[in-house]
Amino acid sequence: MAYDIRLMKLLTGELVIGKYDAENDKLTDVAAIQTIPAQQGVQMVMMPYGYPFEPNFTGQIEGKFFLYRYADTPKELQDKYIEACTNLTVAGGLGKLQFGSGPMPGSGSGLIS
């Protein structure tokens, strides 16, 4: 099952990522994106929205609270989100598996030539 993972900015200014439910215009299993200073730049951390009171990725946010909907969610960010939600490591983008809504990677029809 492919998830439509999207990045949104909320009215509060927070940056969140989650599985987009187009039918109900909401994000589910929402993670808040926080940046923290590191020795070699900035490090990004994803935590369940509502943490520390809600330690699981179960939150939902309705579309009326979105200030901005990003057109594209970077693949690296989608991979980090999947890793955070599942506690599994996404190695090398998992080849041709797709977690977003964009076209499948690669070229051609997929037929063996």
**Residue 49 has which token pair?**
């929205």
Instruction: Answer yes or no: is 20 within a domain.
Output: yes
Would you say 36 and 46 are in contact if contact means Cβ atoms under 8 Å apart? no
Instruction: Answer yes or no: is 72 within a domain.
Output: yes
Give, for all 113 residues of the chain, the pLDDT tens digit. 578 999 999 999 999 999 999 999 999 999 999 877 777 777 778 888 878 777 788 889 999 999 999 999 989 889 888 888 887 776 664 445 555 555 555 544 444 44
Q: How far apart are CA 98 and CA 36, in angstroms?
A: 28
**What is the domain extent for residue 71?**
5-94
Q: What is the pTM of this model?
A: 0.72
In three-state secondary structure terms, 21 is: strand
**Residue 11 has which token pair?**
């009215």
Domain count, the chain: 1
